């Protein structure tokens, strides 16, 4: 089922244009001042364990985890040791308050962090220094590289939903309208696949903004995130189903791993050996799931 492509409407930039969601100038100034004042302490980092991990991506030295309640990014090495990369103060309206998703920066300089707590997209440099790309999002949930200079951001946008395109210098535009978008990944065919938890669906998204349905309905219950496998299929985490589902390029869905010890799996990444890394905040752990679907509790909250 094809949806017509929509024009990419520029909503605003980080230089002061506005979207349909009201933002106070005072809030933007407060965030900017806070970022500048705390940049040095962020760069130094703080030792901290996992608290409520929600997303995970591969890194040259292991993994980088976005932690919602630690208000920052944590590094996890191949032995499961945890260290802080960047951490906010944990106060409302301060940077990284609602850390939700992480992506290696498309230009190779550190990571990008989506933060619905401050309507923002941040950059965390390789040295841990924090800078603001834009505070003109609404409820950003997922990130995918579009090109060397921009990313796609799935944004719940007051419950309606859209995929936004954001350039690294802060220009924000509507790329496609999708209900309740969450995780988003390249599909390996010059497009993307987007999870919709509201529609219990996976949508294909073309680079022209066109949208078509890959799959919708049961057994998907509250799909959250996904990762593409080398064969072109996908693994999808589902919080309500306590499951990881396998989805073929043709849209056939089967259960890959389900039930205890998984509780509400969210972020997912793929290791070089084919092992899946799944963060589950309610289970309080990062799990390893082998190609045989065996689930191993790898790193615990507090580690």
The predicted-structure confidence for 280-295, as pLDDT tens digits, reads as follows 999 999 999 999 999 9
| Predicted pLDDT at 42 | 37
What are the pLDDT digits (tens) for 58-99?
998 899 999 999 999 999 999 999 999 999 999 999 999 999
Q: Does residue 159 sit in helix, strand or coil?
A: helix
- Reference 60, options 84, 76, 82, 81; nearest CA is 76
Q: Which of 48-52, 103-107, 243-247 has the weakest average pLDDT? A: 48-52
Integer Cα distance of 133 and 28 in angstroms: 12
pLDDT at 44 over 60: no
pLDDT at 145 over 60: yes
Q: Does residue 219 sit in helix, strand or coil?
A: coil
| Predicted pLDDT at 48 | 58
Integer Cα distance of 79 and 175 in angstroms: 40
When pLDDT is cut at 50, 70 and 90, the band that residue 132 belongs to is very high
Token reading at 157: 């946008």
Q: What is the DSSP letter of 292?
A: T
Q: What is the DSSP letter of 127?
A: T
Say if residues 156 and 162 touch (Cβ distance below 8 Å): no
| Predicted pLDDT at 207 | 97
| Share of residues in the chain with pLDDT > 90 (%) | 81
| Share of residues in the chain with pLDDT > 70 (%) | 84
Integer Cα distance of 118 and 164 in angstroms: 16
When pLDDT is cut at 50, 70 and 90, the band that residue 32 belongs to is very low
| Predicted pLDDT at 67 | 98
What are the pLDDT digits (tens) for 212-261?
999 999 999 999 999 999 999 999 999 999 999 999 999 999 999 999 99
Q: Which residues contact 291 (CB under 8 A, 6 or more apart)?
A: 274, 275
Q: What is the pTM of this model?
A: 0.85
| Predicted pLDDT at 39 | 36
Q: What is the mean pLDDT of residues 259-268?
A: 98
User: What's the mean per-residue pLDDT of the chain?
Assistant: 88
Token reading at 138: 């609404």
């Amino acid at each position: 089922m094809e949806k017509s492509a929509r024009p990419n409407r520029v909503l605003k930039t980080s230089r002061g244009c506005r979207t349909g969601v009201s933002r106070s100038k005072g809030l933007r100034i407060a965030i900017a001042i806070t970022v500048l004042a705390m940049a040095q302490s962020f760069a130094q980092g703080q030792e901290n364990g996992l608290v409520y991990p929600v997303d995970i991506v591969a890194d040259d030295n292991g993994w980088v985890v976005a932690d919602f309640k630690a208000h920052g990014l944590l590094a996890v090495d191949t032995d499961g040791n945890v260290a802080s990369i960047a951490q906010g103060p944990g106060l409302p309206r301060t940077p990284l308050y609602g850390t939700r998703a992480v992506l290696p920066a498309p230009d190779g300089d550190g990571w990008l962090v989506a933060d619905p707590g401050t309507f923002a997209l941040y950059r965390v440099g390789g040295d841990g220094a924090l800078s603001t790309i834009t505070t003109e999002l609404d409820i950003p949930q997922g990130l995918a590289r579009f090109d060397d200079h921009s990313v796609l951001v799935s944004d719940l946008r007051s419950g309606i939903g859209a995929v936004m395109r954001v350039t690294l210098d802060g220009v924000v535009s509507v790329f496609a309208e999708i209900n309740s978008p969450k995780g988003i990944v390249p599909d390996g065919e010059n497009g993307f696949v987007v999870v919709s938890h509201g529609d219990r669906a996976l949508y294909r998204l073309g680079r022209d903004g066109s949208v078509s349905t890959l799959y919708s309905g049961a057994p998907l219950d509250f799909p959250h995130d996904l990762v593409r496998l080398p064969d072109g299929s996908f693994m999808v985490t589902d919080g309500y189903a306590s499951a990881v589902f396998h989805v073929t390029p043709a849209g056939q869905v089967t259960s890959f791993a389900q039930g205890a010890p998984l509780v509400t799996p969210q972020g997912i990444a793929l290791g070089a050996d084919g092992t899946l890394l799944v963060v589950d905040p309610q289970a309080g752990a990062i799990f390893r799931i082998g190609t045989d679907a065996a689930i191993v509790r790898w790193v615990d909250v507090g580690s």
